[in-house]
Structures are given as C-alpha cells and as structure tokens.
Amino acid sequence: MSSTIVNPAGTTRVLSIDIFRGLTMVVMIFVNELSDVRGLPWWTYHAPEKLDYMTYVDMVFPFFLFIVGMSMPLSIEQRLKRNGSMAALWLHTLLRSLGLVVLGLILANAEFCDEARMGMNGGLWCLMALIAAGLYLNVYPPSKRFPQYGRVLRWTGLAGVVLLLALFRRSAEDGQVAWLDFSYPEILGLIGLSYFAVALLYIPTRRWSWLQPVWFVLLVGLCVYSTAERHAFANRLPIYIWPFNNGAMVCIIMAGVLTSKIFLDSAVETSVGKKMLRAAGFGVAMLIAGWALTPLGISKIRATPTWSLYSIGAAVLLFTVLYWVCDVRGWSRWAFFARPAGANTLTTYLLPDVWACMATAVGFTYLEHHLNHGWHGVVRTVAFTAMMLVLSWAVTRAKIRLQF
C-alpha cells in the first residue's frame, strides 16, 4: 500500500502545515515575552497548577506538539524515498531527539551557571553553546570553491558544544559543585522525547493505518489512568527511561499523525469535503471527550486528559480551516508574516533565547524594570515579536536554517 503523502495540487508541500506552524511560533514568542508583563487579565497568563482551568496560553505548546505529529508522516516518507535504509531512519530519529534534548538542557541550565567556577556568566555560556549548536545544525548551501566548508563548520560546532558542556558547573543544593541538571529538559527536550516515543509506535506500524487510532486511544487511556491514579507507574518513571510520560504530550503528537492521515494520505481516495467533515468530526469528538473528563481536572502543568483533548480539538478544527483557506482556496498571502517562522522553525524558536543570552552576557537589564506593566508591556511585547519575525525573515534570506 502506498504511503505517499501529497496535497490537493499533487505536491509534497502543504502550505497549511507551514502556516499553522508559523502562526504557532508567532503566538509562542508573544506569550513567552508577555509572561514578564504584570497587570494584565488572567487569561493572558498560564493557569496556576492547582486551579482547574486553561487559557489560550496553555494551548501554545500542545499546538506545537500537534504540528510535530502532522509533519511526521510526511518527513518520514520523504526521508525513506531518499534513503530506504531503516537503520538510517532510526539513527536520524534518535539523533534528532537527542539534539533537541541537548538544546533543551542548554537553555534550562543557563541560569544555574556558577560564574565563579566557570569564568563566565550563564548568558555568555548559553550564547556560545547556541552559536556552536547553530554551526552544527545549519544547512549549508553547496560550494564548488570550498566543497568541504560545511563539514568543517559542522564538526567545529559539535566540538564547541561538547567543550562548553564539559566546562559547565553549577552549585547543587548542598553547595557542592555539580554538572548539568537533567530534571527538566525545557520545552525542546520534552518535544524531542515525545517525538521519539511516537516514532517508536508509528515507524514500525506506519503501513497499517488502523493502528494509529489504536495507539492514540491507548495513549489517552494512559493519560486518564495516570491522572486518576496519582501513583501510577508512568508518574514514577523518569522521562528519559519512559518517554511516554503520562501519555498527555505523546497523545497530542499522535493526534497530529491522525489528522495528517485524514488530509494528506494519497492512499485514501476521499474528496476534500469528506476530509474536512472527518477532521471536523474528530475535532468535535475531542472537545466532547475533554469535557467528559473534566472531573480529572483541567491543567497544563498537571498534564490532565482534558487539557490534552481540548488542545487537540482546537488544533484539529483550526488546521481544518487553514487547509481549506490555504491549500484548497489558495489564499495564503495573508500569512506572509508567519511563513518564514513556519519554514525555519528551529532557528526562529531559538532567536528569542539568543537575544536573552546576549542581554544577560552584557548585563542589559533595562526591560526587567521598565515597560513591564499593563498596556506599555503589551506594546513592548508586540514590538519584540515583530522584531523576532523580521530577524527570522532576515536569517532565512541569508540561508541560515537550523535543521536536524
């Protein structure tokens, strides 16, 4: 059975996926910067851990997970077309997941750098580590004059990352010198581990489409069980040993895989109208299921089933609209501001962190004490988001594209 994935025009480029990803990046940059602004309505922040509600801010991370799942079938099939080796595919999957975890650990540990022991503050260390990682991850255009320059820069970057990780030191709670704190690998690390968990299920069974819904139901069931039984095994195992965690993040990625199959699997001959109807039904069903599970709580921080299912339902319905607008009707110019962020995602994700590291490295603290309250802070946040989008466009034009 063929697994080739195409859009209605018969190409492998699906505008709605890039635009969905780009819009998610725009909102992510905005809400991350807005989190430092005080005096705004409750719905502009993450919901507190102990309260049972969620805001639009709590849906940004799930949307990112969802689009990872949507892209997975397409990227895997394209990679297998270029190289049919399953060993190469698994190596790529492992390295991609590991790379995201390493980037996440760099970002998560920067604030804990012991300047006295390292001879540099956390901002400078993180900035140098991100630059080194960028050298390794950048996709270099071919050069006839210097054909090996890309390989040299990549190996230089990798050596830089290894050296900077080896130099890292922090003070543990008991005052003793310690290395990296692995307890929280930041958002990128969580994405990498969840991606690997879904790959373990999807890659071996990708030709049996009926199995993906089964995996999804089982993952939701794991989330329900883990939330209801606070001492369930999934809550006790380290995420590095059990990347499925409590099932919440992984089921969101698998929902993206299912949605991708609905819209983009050429093996299923279905009209656009039927695809949209199926997707809309899936999205509404997720919202109803989330509502039915509200007794277990509604929380991003606690990763409850309702948070996952509400986020999945909203993501599916939004993507359905974008698919009709962008791929069916061809109306995509309106999303010009988000397209570079959607096509050059990892680079765009890291740009605000690069900015923050530079500010910390040079001791720039003005914005920590100014323009951080009320509408002044909102204006600052909008300006910062626009600046990051312009930078994303500029680095994309300069052919700087980080990719695993």
Per-residue tokens: 15: 């505008």
pLDDT at 6: 44
* Whole-number Å distance between alpha carbons of 241 and 313: 29
Whether the CB-CB separation of 403 and 139 falls below 8 Å is answered with: yes
Q: What is the pLDDT of residue 13?
A: 63
Does some domain include residue 25? Answer: yes
Backbone region of residue 171 per phi and psi (left: phi > 0; alpha: psi in -120 to 50; beta: other values):
beta
Q: How many domains does the chain have?
A: 1
The domain of 210 spans: 15-397
Amino acid at 269: E
Q: What is the DSSP string of 151-202?
A: HHHHHHHHHHHHHHHHH--EE-TTS-EE----S--HHHHHHHHHHHHHHHHH
pLDDT for position 370: 87
User: What is the pTM assigned to this prediction?
Assistant: 0.93
Q: Is residue 4 part of a domain?
A: no
Residue 308 lies in a domain: yes
- Report the candidate in 210, 209, 212, 230 with the shortest Cα–Cα distance to residue 220: 212
Query: For residues 171 and 114, is the Cβ–Cβ distance under 8 A?
Result: yes
Cα of first residue to Cα of last residue in the chain, in angstroms, is 29
Q: What is the pLDDT of residue 169?
A: 95
Question: How many whole angstroms separate alpha carbon 108 and alpha carbon 25?
Answer: 19
pLDDT value, residue 282? 97
**Distance of alpha carbon 313 from alpha carbon 216, whole angstroms:** 14
The residue among 331, 289, 329 whose CA lies nearest residue 310 is: 289
Residue 10: inside a domain: no
Q: Which amino acid is at 82?
A: R
- Per-position pLDDT tens, the chain of length 404: 233 334 444 444 688 999 999 999 999 999 999 999 999 999 999 999 999 999 999 999 999 999 999 999 999 999 999 888 899 999 999 999 999 999 999 999 999 999 999 999 999 999 999 999 999 999 999 988 898 999 999 999 999 999 999 999 999 888 899 999 999 999 999 999 999 999 999 999 999 989 999 999 999 999 999 999 888 888 888 999 999 999 999 999 999 999 999 998 766 667 889 999 999 999 999 999 999 999 999 999 999 999 999 999 999 999 999 999 999 999 999 999 999 999 999 999 999 999 999 999 999 988 888 889 999 999 999 999 999 999 999 999 999 999 87
Q: Are 186 and 168 in contact (CB under 8 A)?
A: no
| Domain presence at residue 403 | no
Of 124, 131, 89, nearest to 110 by C-alpha is 124
Does residue 85 form part of some domain?
yes
The pLDDT of residue 3 is 33
Amino acid sitting at position 96: R
Cβ–Cβ contacts within 10 Å for residue 130, how many?
A: 22
Question: What was the pLDDT predicted at 308?
Answer: 98
